[in-house]
Amino acid sequence: MNESRTERNKAVVVEFLTTAFSSKDFASLDRYVHPDYIQHNPFIPPAKAGLRGFIAGLPDDTRYEPGAIIAEGDLVMVHGRYSGGADKPLLGVDIFRFEDGLVVEHWDVLQSEVAAQDTVAGNPMFTNPQTGRADRPA
């Protein structure tokens, strides 16, 4: 797989997560998710329709913020923050597999975010390397 396809896959994942979760705009989900999409999250119903219905049912203030993102071959992994509609933001590592240029499979690992001042190391659990800075406490 060439670098341009890898970069495209990364951009697709960020676009679809950000627009679907933050504004419930499903155009990119409709465009980039394979009709035979396989979902491995135990709380999201199967198939593309299940994902769409799950997101549509989330509170309107739900937001997604991408952090570190890596891609290799047909896999893209992104560390992101899901906020709104819950007591604490959730941090997740979402893993997507592409086939024929479309997202065909998804896994994730989720955990509640802990404020930096409440961690033993004093460092935040979420940073965004795309901003060119680490979100570290002063």
Say if residue 4's pLDDT is above 70: yes
pLDDT at 138 over 50: no
C-alpha 41: how far from its chain's center? 12
Which pLDDT belongs to residue 2?
59
pLDDT score of 85: 74
Outline where the chain has alpha helix (H): 3-23, 27-32, 47-56
Is the per-residue pLDDT at 131 higher than 70? Answer: yes
Residue, of 128 and 98, whose pLDDT is higher: 98
Mind listing the pLDDT tens digit for each residue in 67-81? 999 999 999 999 999
> How much is the pLDDT for 132?
60
- Extended strands (E) in the chain: 33-39, 63-72, 75-83, 90-99, 102-112
Neighbours of 77 (CB within 10 A): 18
pTM score of the predicted model: 0.88
Check whether 38 has a pLDDT greater than 90: yes
pLDDT of residue 137: 44
